[in-house]
């Protein structure tokens, strides 16, 4: 990866002090299988059930369970709140969780034993949502990003790295001393208040094309071609404010980073469901890696404010405020752009479901993923190997457990509940595993059905304020509330 992805974006959204590419390896590999409201309410545990459009992204064998054609769509509302020491930022998002159509073909003279029906499905499932805002702060810090910039700067001023050190020099935050070395405008003993704002937008959506069949009402087979659309936009604003007792003439500075990642990936999924008895079903599915081609765009800006009257005449131009961009957003010569290939890990899902007559269902999915197998493939082979080694050193094999239940109160009304335990992908003490809790109901009348679901999850992230500030970890607590409504028609 280029230097901007390997060195400069280290603290953009990372939960540790690793590079942005390593952090995004996890971000773009994690998925939530909750396209429809019924699947969401049951914790996404549909690997052995089928008959729901979400199953096409979980276990494609589920498409063979359909006995009639169906159309569904699922609007959803999400609310995310991020807290740091009592301060919180929140964000609402309105998305389309699912749109899908399944067509069923039943031969006129289907044998009692043999192929009973053949099904085809096409549609869309939302499998990741990146929308959130966060606010972090660290008061009375003895460290500063300016010291790091001064240590990285070398050579003539016009040779400085244009996305950070050059901006710091142009805004008078670092300067050259009498020995020809770069130094920060801070004096020994100066302390700073630090704050960081994070604004993320984006999603991963999967367009699915599935085929499946039912053999003797015992074995259900299916395959899905998944085309994933990825978009991720992040903006961070990092500021430092001088304390009143400081000697420096600097009042404050703000460093902004802007990055957009977009691209398309493709994967294959294969699955089967076997009906052991009329009550017990077992399922298994394997997902190939998603092979992405991604483009990143990155640029920065920096502004500084000094005391308007300075006895020694610094800054040299006599101005109190300075502001520069690394590039105008339309200037492609100075906006860093990188194209690279990215590969997510394999997934294996084992499932079981038990049907208590026509009254209740209990379903369990167990998913295994090795995040250390995530890979970047850049034109610069040495950089890709270095990033991939960091991924292998950072992440581990983990598992996810999803449990769902449904109880049919009347033939037309059902209650549902679900729980999921998402495993920790880190080898280190960093723990980003979390639990989700969900519930909902379903109503059906003739050929129409309506499902509603609510899901709650809470998780913590440890951030560094900027790359190199390893002693200043700040914890962000995130809570996510999601409501989904599925409208479905059978025909």
- Domain for residue 483, yes or no? yes
Query: What is the residue whose two structure tokens read 């109503």?
Result: 443
Q: In terms of Cα–Cα distance, which of 2, 51, 173, 116 is closest to 488?
A: 51
- Domain for residue 154, yes or no? no
| Confidence (pLDDT) at 15 | 33
- Domain for residue 175, yes or no? no
Give the span between the Cα atoms of 51 and 44, in whole angstroms.
13
Tokens of 476: 């962000």
Say which CATH number the domain at 199 has.
Answer: 2.40.160.60
- The one-character DSSP state at 392 is H
| Confidence (pLDDT) at 120 | 97
Q: What would the pLDDT profile of 2-45 be if each residue is shown by its tens digit?
A: 333 333 333 333 333 334 467 788 889 988 877 899 999 999 99
- Domain for residue 159, yes or no? no
Give the span between the Cα atoms of 35 and 55, in whole angstroms.
9
Q: Work out the pLDDT band at 227, boundaries 50, 70, 90.
A: very high
- Domain for residue 155, yes or no? no
Tally the C-alpha atoms within 13 A of residue 271's C-alpha that lie toward its C-beta. 34
Q: What would the pLDDT profile of 156-184 be if each residue is shown by its tens digit?
A: 888 888 899 999 999 999 999 888 899 99
Number of domains the chain is built from: 1
- Domain for residue 151, yes or no? no
Q: Which residues contact 331 (CB under 8 A, 6 or more apart)?
A: none
Q: What would the pLDDT profile of 96-112 be if each residue is shown by its tens digit?
A: 989 999 999 988 876 77
| Confidence (pLDDT) at 18 | 37
Give the span between the Cα atoms of 403 and 438, in whole angstroms.
10
pLDDT of residue 467 exceeding 80, the answer is no
- Domain for residue 372, yes or no? yes
Expressed as residue numbers, the domain containing 254 is 3-144+186-490
DSSP H or E run through 121: strand 115-129
How high does pLDDT run on average in the chain?
A: 87
pLDDT of residue 404 exceeding 60, the answer is yes
- Domain for residue 178, yes or no? no
Model pTM score:
0.86
| Confidence (pLDDT) at 334 | 58
What are phi and psi for residue 162, nearest 5 degrees?
-70, -15
């Amino acid at each position: 990866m280029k230097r901007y992805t390997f060195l400069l974006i280290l603290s953009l959204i990372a939960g540790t002090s690793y590079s942005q590419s390593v952090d995004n390896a996890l971000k773009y590999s994690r998925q939530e299988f909750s396209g429809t409201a019924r699947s969401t309410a049951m914790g996404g545990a549909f690997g052995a059930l089928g008959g729901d459009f979400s199953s096409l992204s979980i276990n494609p064998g589920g498409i063979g369970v359909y006995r009639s054609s169906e159309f569904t769509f699922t609007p959803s509302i999400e609310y995310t709140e991020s807290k740091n020491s009592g301060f919180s930022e929140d964000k609402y998002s309105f998305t389309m969780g699912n749109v899908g159509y399944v067509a069923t073909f039943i031969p006129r003279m289907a044998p009692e034993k043999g192929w009973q029906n053949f099904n085809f499905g096409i549609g869309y499932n939302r499998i990741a949502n990146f929308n959130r805002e966060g606010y972090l702060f660290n008061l009375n810090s003895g460290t500063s990003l300016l010291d790091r910039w001064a240590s990285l700067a070398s050579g003539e001023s016009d040779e400085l790295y244009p996305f950070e050190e050059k901006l710091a020099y142009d805004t008078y935050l670092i300067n050259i001393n009498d020995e020809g070395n770069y130094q920060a405008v801070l004096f020994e003993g100066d302390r700073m208040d630090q704050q960081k704002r994070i604004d993320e937008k984006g999603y991963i959506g999967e367009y699915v094309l599935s085929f499946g069949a039912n053999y003797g009402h015992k074995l259900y087979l299916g395959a899905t071609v998944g085309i994933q659309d990825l978009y991720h936009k992040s903006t961070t604003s990092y500021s430092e404010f001088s304390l009143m007792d400081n000697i420096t003439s600097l009042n404050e500075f703000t460093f902004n980073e802007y990055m957009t990642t977009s691209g398309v990936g493709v994967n294959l999924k294969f699955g089967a469901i076997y009906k052991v008895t009329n009550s017990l079903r077992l399922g298994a599915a394997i997902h190939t890696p998603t092979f992405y081609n991604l483009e990143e765009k990155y640029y920065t800006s920096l502004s500084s404010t000094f005391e308007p009257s300075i006895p020694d005449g610094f800054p040299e131009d006599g101005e109190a405020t300075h502001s520069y961009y690394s590039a105008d957003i339309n200037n492609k010569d100075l906006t860093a752009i990188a194209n690279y290939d990215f590969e997510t890990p394999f997934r294996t899902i084992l499932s079981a479901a038990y049907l208590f007559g026509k009254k209740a269902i209990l379903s369990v999915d167990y998913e295994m993923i090795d995040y250390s197998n995530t890979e970047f493939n850049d034109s610069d082979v040495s950089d890709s190997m270095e990033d991939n080694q960091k991924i292998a050193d950072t992440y581990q094999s983990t598992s996810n457990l999803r449990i769902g239940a449904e109880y049919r109160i009347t033939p037309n009304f059902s209650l549902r509940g679900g729980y999921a335990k998402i495993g920790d992908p880190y080898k280190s003490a960093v723990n980003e595993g979390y639990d989700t809790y969900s519930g909902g109901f379903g109503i059906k009348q003739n050929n129409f059905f309506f499902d509603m679901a609510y899901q709650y999850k809470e998780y913590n992230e440890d951030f560094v304020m900027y790359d190199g500030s390893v002693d200043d970890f700040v914890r962000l607590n995130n809570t996510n509330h999601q409501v989904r409504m599925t409208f479905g028609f059978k025909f």
